[in-house]
Structure 1
Amino acid sequence: MSTGSAGQKARSTIRPHSETARHGPLRTFLHTVDGVTIDAAYDPGSVVYDTGRPPSGHLDDLAIVVAHGFTGDLERPHVRRVAGVLARYGAVVTFSFRGHGASGGRSTVGDREVHDLAAAVAWARELGHTRVATVGFSMGGSVVLRHAAQDHEGAHTDAVVSVSAPARWYYRGTAPMRRVHWLVTRPEGRLVGRYGLRVRIHDRDWDPVPVSPVESVPLIAPTPLLIVHGDRDGYFPLDHPRMLADAAPGHAELWLESGMGHAEHASDDGLLGRIGAWVASRARH
């Protein structure tokens, strides 16, 4: 499961930004550099455009790309809720990772998903947004870190938020993560994933093993980086966010949230609002 060539540009079928803005929400399929079709949606947010490209530096030139967690997709209620809150701060692009929802391919659980995110970010820029931020949860949180550390022509990010992400691969220290490993590595687990959780999982091991989130973090600077984690996360204990933050001293901002569990389901509207405000203030093109 190699990550492929960084820097290649994703393809999409879109309209120019002025037309897009007048027509409001969009739904389309994007195409990644490795040939996977990705289901994606665009919500212009609470800002209404009359004509032309939004003025640089204003709230309405910001797009927030949401990267969901494993077994999620853009139509899941918890993903729609996240998008709805973040839409108060700018336009929002949601998409389903490969193997999830209506997207093609099979999930590689954080490896080739970097290509999916790059396609979504490129779409946001092609729609005319001069500031684009990525906000990822759990698996999506690891993907936004790895994406920001790579060179993606036309698909770079101006701010990164990683929520409930692992710091290192192959972690089995909690019961939920042992269940995830069974789901991913065993044939019967992948059947449960396909028919019970609506996710199609690749049956091959990573080869080579992709760069880990903690190895990616030092490469993100000077792009603003926020790491968010709950002190009641049942999947990844607090050594994970602390390891991520320690990998970029003086650069990464760390929020340890009291009483919070894991990922989108545990991110209440107040936290999502604070994340949206942080993105709006930090993202600079």
Structure 2
Amino acid sequence: MESVSEPAVARSCVPSIVSGGMRAVLTAEDRVPIDAAHLPGSTPGGLAIVVAHGFTGALERPAVRRAAEIFAGTAGVGGVVTFSFRGHGRSGGRSTVGDREVLDLDAAVRWARRLGHPAVASVGFSMGGSVVLRHAGRKPAHEGAHVDAVVSVSAPARWYYRGTAPMRRVHWAITQPVGRMVSRGLLHTRIHDKDWDPVPVAPVEAVRSIAPTPLLVVHGDRDGYFPLDHPLSLADAAGGAAELWIEPGFGHAENAAAPDLLRRIAGWTAERARPAGAPD
């Protein structure tokens, strides 16, 4: 699926999403403008967490803002970068539903490094969870876009899954003209109308190449989109290199993530993420 750029929606001089934050328009490798924000953390000089939201999310959505604020308040976190994937929110382009979104994450990670953070971790939810896995699994990583730890929350293990009613609705929204119209009008998500060509590497294949970068896979036992065989497949494919949390009572992605879970995720990244070459 090739991405088609649209006129930039983001602007560099707009109010910050939170007090003390910074807003910017980043440029993905294929020239799509990406709306991004940086929130200072509780530990100056600490790592940055880059948040990759789920499908139909955006950096200004309440669940993403809540996650960013909780991450920023965790000891060891020096800042949080949120951004809107292409086709979402104020970013340009159209969504390729997890394909070229890797380039958007690339731009956000590079920005975090330019801001001076000594280490950068990516935390992705649902579609964003698949993107952080594919991004971390690329070898070699693009210059300045490598991450020092990865957390994938509520992510699919494989593409084209239609085994649950919510996922059948998602596929309708993506593949049908009326569905794309509804997504644009009601969900403010602009979706590309072309099929993937070529089909991107599936998350279950990407995880095989992430080690030795620390990897955490998080999934809820009440996830209505992807059943537990998805996180189990991801952990198995990682060959023991991934830590797996199956969370009792947790539903799906950032909208369902409780503050305690978000704090534990941030604490895990602060403990595990170290710059390449740093002592253990």
Q: Normalising by structure 2, what TM-score?
A: 0.89
**Equivalent in 118, 129, 151 of residue 141 of structure 1:** 129
| C-alpha contact (below 8 Å) 2:85/2:95 kept by paired residues | yes
Deviation at 1:152, TM superposition (A): 1.6
Q: Tell me the distance in 1 between the aligned counterparts of 2:216 and 2:207.
A: 11
**Cα deviation digits, residues 160-209 of structure 1 (max 9, x gap):** 00000000000000000000000000000000000010000000000000
DSSP-derived class of the 2:26 partner: strand
Q: Who is 1:188 aligned against?
A: 178
Q: Who is 1:62 aligned against?
A: 47
Q: Who is 2:249 aligned against?
A: 259
**Cα deviation digits, residues 202-251 of structure 1 (max 9, x gap):** 00000000000000001000000000000010000000000000001221
| C-alpha contact (below 8 Å) 1:2/1:209 kept by paired residues | no
Q: Tell me the distance in 1 between the aligned counterparts of 2:183 and 2:202.
A: 24
Structure 1 segment 1-285 matched on structure 2, within 5 A: 1=1, 24-47=20-43, 60-89=45-74, 90=77, 91-150=79-138, 151-285=141-275
Q: Tell me the distance in 2 between the aligned counterparts of 1:249 and 1:204.
A: 34
Percent identity, please. Answer: 71
| C-alpha contact (below 8 Å) 1:64/1:93 kept by paired residues | yes
The count of residues paired between Structure 1 and Structure 2 equals 256
Q: Tell me the distance in 1 between the aligned counterparts of 2:63 and 2:21.
A: 19
DSSP-derived class of the 1:142 partner: helix
Deviation at 1:130, TM superposition (A): 1.3
Considering only aligned residues, what root-mean-square deviation do their CA atoms show, in Å?
A: 1.3
| C-alpha contact (below 8 Å) 2:2/2:96 kept by paired residues | no
Q: Tell me the distance in 2 between the aligned counterparts of 1:64 and 1:2.
A: 28
Structure 2, gaps ≥5 residues long = 4-11, 13-18, 276-280
Q: Tell me the distance in 1 between the aligned counterparts of 2:21 and 2:223.
A: 34
Letter in 2 for 1:104: G
Deviation at 1:159, TM superposition (A): 0.2
| C-alpha contact (below 8 Å) 1:2/1:208 kept by paired residues | no
DSSP-derived class of the 1:146 partner: helix
Q: Normalising by structure 1, what TM-score?
A: 0.88
